[in-house]
Amino acid sequence: MNGAESLISTLIGAGVNVCFANPGTTEMPMVQALDSVPGMRAVLCLFEGVATGAADGYARMTGKPGLTLLHLGPGFANGIAYLHDAKRARSPIVNLIGDHASWHLPADAPLTSDIVSLANPVSHWVRRSNSAEEIAGDAAEAIALASVKPGSIATLIVPHDAQLEAASRTVAVTAVASPSAVSDEAIKLAAETLRGESAALFLGAYALRERGLKAVARIAAATGCKLICESFPARWERGVGTPIIERLPYFPEPAMAALAPYKSIVLAGARSPVSFFGYPGLPSYFISPKQNTVTLASPVEDVEAALEALADSLNAPHDVTANSELQLPQLPTGKLTPETLSAVVAALLPENCIVMDESNTSMGPFTKLAQSVRPHTALFQPGGAIGLGFPCSTGAAVACPDRTVINLQSDGSGMYTLQALWTQAREGLNVKTIVLNNQSYRILGIELMRAGVKELSSLAKSLIGLNNPPIDWVSLSKGLGVPAVRVESAETLAKELSRALAEAGPQLIEAVL
């Protein structure tokens, strides 16, 4: 057994058995170990951002570490943007980076770089294995650390010589720490606050998953408190039967207006919400200093247990029926607009599907509609690095082969990571992508208007326009092996989405707005 084999064995032993890979020469012993140690599924990605974003999607859907295999500093760097998103999503991720043989580093070969400096901003833990004998222990530590709920990012750098040299052991991951428990005082204070008048419960992290939401419904039933969630939750179990929750708006003015009616805000698995960007004259924090902020559980604390304890302390009923009436919008006709797009997708969402929502400016009404349609899981981008939709939906589909994944993909964002379509085709993944083609970075036009620009100049238009030349998403998708069609009306979208949902494997629909 060599170091690479001890590494792969340790991973497989810990149940980490899917690897999103874009390896190079310095990772070849690990690739060989994938062969000699059975049990790891290797998913090839043609750009590292696809690998890291897919690992994030996989981790969010399984709770297990999403594993990447990346090549040296520049290869890792290509994956940083979606590790940033994964870090903000608190997804468990283990990155494996091959490095030059340790004896070759002083030669400063062309691909040598400071991997640690690149890895630190997107990792909770970075380690360079010093020898073959240490790799298994380092890997076990990485897995154990990453796996503590909700999750962390562990990056392990493995020199080529350490991969090749003899190793004597694998290491079992025996104990994964539990998330920090919330104090009785915090629960008591939250209960008192919610019993008072005009309180909101602000939800994030595992508060938005099944167990958390069950407790949330009980709390809402007992107190009548308002439920609000983060603008971009990592994962939200949504649809009929789950409590109605207001998703915090993106821009400061409506976000502050949404929070303003409440004397007290109780944070459950969420930080005090802040503005995505700083706007002159507007505050960073949306909760005013005059409001009362109470933390039930921080994003890394055990919010599920805390919510249950809170529900119990409120003597809340045990089985609460919330939002029980299925409400499917009527299928609209006519032009594709945010309204018609949202209605079609909401109406046709299959039960138990996964919706990756990178719709940005194109599907405003969707969130409200989606609250009472067929139950589904919604994924967002807590880190704001755009282009996550393609890879994250890919990883979610690998994680859940029996569920349909629908990727609502803005066009500008999608251009960062379209290579993921190839991996979807390669793996026959059940991902249905709707590219929302408005031929622009629409959000930047909105931001310029917010900044006081009355009319966009031709230069500004050209810098936010994707219409010269127009991007042909059908052609791109077919080029990467994914069948695709273009639709320009609500009725054609409904027809093509129904067809795509009925067919197996990846499909792309270019929806022209």
Give the C-alpha distances (Å, rounded to integers) separating 365 from 159, 478, 513: 50, 30, 15
Tokens 């109470």 -> residue = 294
What tokens were used for 429?
């993944």
Q: What is the 3-state secondary structure (H, E, C) of 332-345?
A: CCCECCHHHHHHHH
Instruction: Closer to a second copy by CB, 68 or 313: give it.
Output: 68
The strand pairing partners of 228, in sequence order, are 202, 246
Mark the segment that binds a second copy (CB under 8 A) among 202-210, 333-341, 402-410, 458-466: 458-466
What tokens were used for 64?
């297990």
Candidates 65, 154, 422, 508: give the one binding a second copy (CB under 8 A).
422
Instruction: Closer to a second copy by CB, 330 or 452: give it.
Output: 452
Candidates 166, 277, 351, 401: give the one binding a second copy (CB under 8 A).
277
Candidates 12, 17, 63, 77: give the one binding a second copy (CB under 8 A).
77
Q: What is the 3-state secondary structure (H, E, C) of 12-65?
A: HHCCCCEEEECCCHHHHHHHHHHHHCCCCEEEECCCHHHHHHHHHHHHHHHCCC
Instruction: Closer to a second copy by CB, 223 or 231: give it.
Output: 231
Instruction: Closer to a second copy by CB, 50 or 200: give it.
Output: 50
Q: Any contact of residue 504 with a second copy (CB under 8 A)? A: no
What tokens were used for 464?
């936010």
Supply φ then ψ for residue 19, to 5 degrees: -130, 125
Instruction: Closer to a second copy by CB, 381 or 404: give it.
Output: 381
Mark the segment that binds a second copy (CB under 8 A) among 2-10, 187-195, 270-278, 402-410: 270-278
Instruction: Closer to a second copy by CB, 46 or 189: give it.
Output: 46
Tell me which DSSP letter residue 491 carries: H
Q: What residues between 204 and 233 interact with a second copy by CB under 8 A?
A: 232
Q: Any contact of residue 276 with a second copy (CB under 8 A)? A: yes
Q: Residue 276 CB, nearest distance to a second copy (Å)?
A: 6
Candidates 120, 178, 183, 288: give the one binding a second copy (CB under 8 A).
120
Q: Residue 82 CB, nearest distance to a second copy (Å)?
A: 8
CA dist., res. 353 & res. 351, Å (int):
6
Mark the segment that binds a second copy (CB under 8 A) among 96-104, 287-295, 365-373, 492-500: 96-104
Candidates 3, 269, 329, 383: give the one binding a second copy (CB under 8 A).
383
Candidates 61, 81, 255, 267: give the one binding a second copy (CB under 8 A).
81
Q: Residue 232 CB, nearest distance to a second copy (Å)?
A: 7
Candidates 114, 185, 319, 402: give the one binding a second copy (CB under 8 A).
114
Task: Please say whether the beta carbons of 361 and 410 come within 8 A.
Answer: yes
Candidates 51, 67, 93, 122: give the one binding a second copy (CB under 8 A).
122
Q: Give how many residues touch a second copy by CB under 8 A.
A: 93
Candidates 130, 180, 198, 284: give the one binding a second copy (CB under 8 A).
284
Q: Would you give the binding string for a second copy spanning residues 139-168, x where CB under 8 A is met?
A: ---------------------xx--x----
Q: Residue 292 CB, nearest distance to a second copy (Å)?
A: 19
The strand pairing partners of 158, in sequence order, are 98
Q: Would you give the binding string for a second copy spanning residues 3-32, x where CB under 8 A is met?
A: ------------------x-xxxx-xx-xx
Instruction: Closer to a second copy by CB, 55 or 490: give it.
Output: 55
Instruction: Closer to a second copy by CB, 35 or 184: give it.
Output: 35
Candidates 314, 347, 370, 415: give the one binding a second copy (CB under 8 A).
415
CA dist., res. 221 & res. 239, Å (int):
18
Task: Please say whether the beta carbons of 27 and 159 come within 8 A.
Answer: no
Q: DSSP letters along 378-394, please?
A: EE--TT--TT-HHHHHH
Q: In one letter, which amino acid is 113? A: S
Q: In one letter, which amino acid is 94? A: V
**For 482, how many CA atoms within 13 A lie in the half-sphere containing its CB?**
34
Instruction: Closer to a second copy by CB, 310 or 420: give it.
Output: 420
Instruction: Closer to a second copy by CB, 86 or 305: give it.
Output: 86
Q: DSSP letters along 286-350, please?
A: SS-TTSEEEEEE-TTB-HHHHHHHHHHHTT--SS---S-S--PPPPP-SB--HHHHHHHHHHHPP
Q: Would you give the binding string for a second copy spanning residues 465-484, x where CB under 8 A is met?
A: xx-xxxxxxxxx-xxxx---
What tokens were used for 477?
């998708």
Task: Please say whether the beta carbons of 275 and 407 come within 8 A.
Answer: no
Give the C-alpha distances (Å, rounded to integers) separating 357 from 10, 433, 436: 35, 10, 11
Give the C-alpha distances (Å, rounded to integers) separating 243 from 22, 203, 331: 41, 12, 24
Candidates 351, 462, 499, 503: give the one binding a second copy (CB under 8 A).
462
Q: Any contact of residue 447 with a second copy (CB under 8 A)? A: yes
CA dist., res. 171 & res. 91, Å (int):
23
CA 98 to chain centre: 25
Mark the segment that binds a second copy (CB under 8 A) among 1-9, 45-53, 204-212, 349-357: 45-53
